[in-house]
Amino acid sequence: MQILRCPAQLQLLEETLRKSLPSTLPVLGTVMTVARGNPASHEVLVDSWPHFGIVLTRLRPEEHRDPMDYYTNQLAVFYRDKGALQTLLEGTEAVTRAQAFQILGTQDGLDEAVQEAASARGLKVE
C-alpha cells in the first residue's frame, strides 16, 4: 500500500471519489481533511497510483494510544475490486491485527469479506 501525501495526488483522488458518491463517502471526508491540513492526523493509502483498486483511510500508526479502542482505530474503505479488498484484509500490513479496529464502508460485500478474513485467522468479528 502506498501513502498519498502529495497535495496534487490528494486533489486528484478527491475529484475521482466525488464521481462515485455516495459509495465513496466514508473515505472522501478523510481525503478532504488530509488535503486541507490534516488536523486529525489521518493518512490515505491506495494499492496503486494513479489507477487504484482500493482506498483506505486510517489514523497514523504513531497516533494510536489505546490498541483496544476500536472507535479511535477506525478504518474507512472504498474499493473498485472485491479482490483488492480481500488482498487488503488478508495480505497487507495496512490493517493491523494487533489492535481492535472497525472498518467503515458502504459497499455490498464488505461484511462478507471481513467475516471471511477473520474466520481464516480465527478472529472474532462483532
The residue extents of the domains of the chain are 2-121
According to the model, what pLDDT value does residue 46 have? Answer: 93
d(CA 106, CA 103): 10
Amino acid found at 89? L
Q: Residues 52-74: pLDDT tens digits?
A: 988 999 888 787 677 777 677 78
pLDDT at 86: 81
Name the helix (H) or strand (E) containing 42: strand 42-46
Predicted confidence at residue 96, as pLDDT, reads 66
Residues 95, 101 contacting (CB under 8 angstroms)? yes
Q: Residues 6 or more apart from 112 whose CB is under 8 A from it?
A: none
Contact 124, 118 (CB under 8 A): yes
pLDDT at 92: 65
pLDDT-flagged residues of the chain (< 50): none
Model's pTM, two decimal places? 0.83
